[in-house]
Amino acid sequence: MTASVEPTTPSNGKGITPKRCSTAGCNVPSDLVLVDPAGVFEPACFTHAEWLEDERALSRRKGGLKLLGKLRRFTFLTVDDLGELATPEDAQRRAQIICDATATGKLGSAAASVALKALESWLKAHESVALERRLAELEARVAERDAQTERARRARAPGPSTEYLSRQSKP
Ligand SMILES: [Zn+2]
């Protein structure tokens, strides 16, 4: 058996179908028996495969980290997590991040509801500031248009136009 490069799964689709784990007394089903891709060790199940020692250690560690995460208190979010808050879109993004963090257990619900309430206030304040700015802009535009209309009217009729008035009063 030559060593072949099979980085993903130690497949048993190479013509060899091992029936048994090489460890005595292990009676795993034959479809769970793995083949050493390097051809060094006898076929074995995941638990007994000598060439999978590192993988087993890793999976134990992953399980350990998961457990640790469950026991750990909330870590809260950093400004890096949230990004800046300058526009309503930022607020929307922050709300989404806060919701996700709460759902995944990174953020406690108490902190989340405070944070969301603060975002809500920010949005309201932002909205009224934006509205005020928009209103001022519109007022300025209306004033500018009024001034234009007035200038145009004066240009068309320099001085009091008696002719215009008299013509209009006739039937
Ligand atoms: Zn086994």
Q: What is the pLDDT of residues 90-117, one digit of tens each?
A: 999 999 999 998 888 888 888 889 999 9
What is the CA(141)–ligand 1 centre distance, in A?
Answer: 82
Q: What is the pLDDT of residues 146-169, one digit of tens each?
A: 999 999 999 887 665 555 555 555
pTM over 0.75: no
Residue 166 lies in a domain: no
- Domain match, 32 and 88 both: no
- Domain match, 124 and 143 both: yes
Burial state string for 13-23 with b = 16 or more CB within 10 A and e = fewer than 16? eeeeebeebbe
- Domain match, 149 and 110 both: yes
- Domain match, 105 and 37 both: no
54 — pLDDT class (breaks 50, 70, 90): confident
Tokens of 64: 């350990």
Which residue is it, tokens 């784990």? 21
- Domain match, 97 and 145 both: yes
What is the CA(36)–ligand 1 centre distance, in A?
Answer: 13
What is the CA(39)–ligand 1 centre distance, in A?
Answer: 17
Residue 23 lies in a domain: yes
- Cα distance between residue 103 and residue 31, in whole Å: 37
Residue 161 lies in a domain: no
- Domain match, 50 and 84 both: no
- Domain match, 130 and 114 both: yes
Domain boundary (34, 51, 72) is at 72
What is the CA(60)–ligand 1 centre distance, in A?
Answer: 17
Residue 169 lies in a domain: no
What is the CA(68)–ligand 1 centre distance, in A?
Answer: 29
Q: With 90 as the cut, is the pLDDT of residue 120 above it?
A: yes
Q: In terms of residue numbers, what domain contains 130? A: 79-155
What is the CA(5)–ligand 1 centre distance, in A?
Answer: 24
Domain tally, the chain: 2
- Domain match, 1 and 46 both: yes
- Domain match, 54 and 121 both: no
What is the CA(1)–ligand 1 centre distance, in A?
Answer: 22
- Cα distance between residue 26 and residue 108, in whole Å: 45
What is the CA(45)–ligand 1 centre distance, in A?
Answer: 4
Between helix 109-156 and helix 88-103 the angle, nearest 10°, is 170
pLDDT score of 80: 81
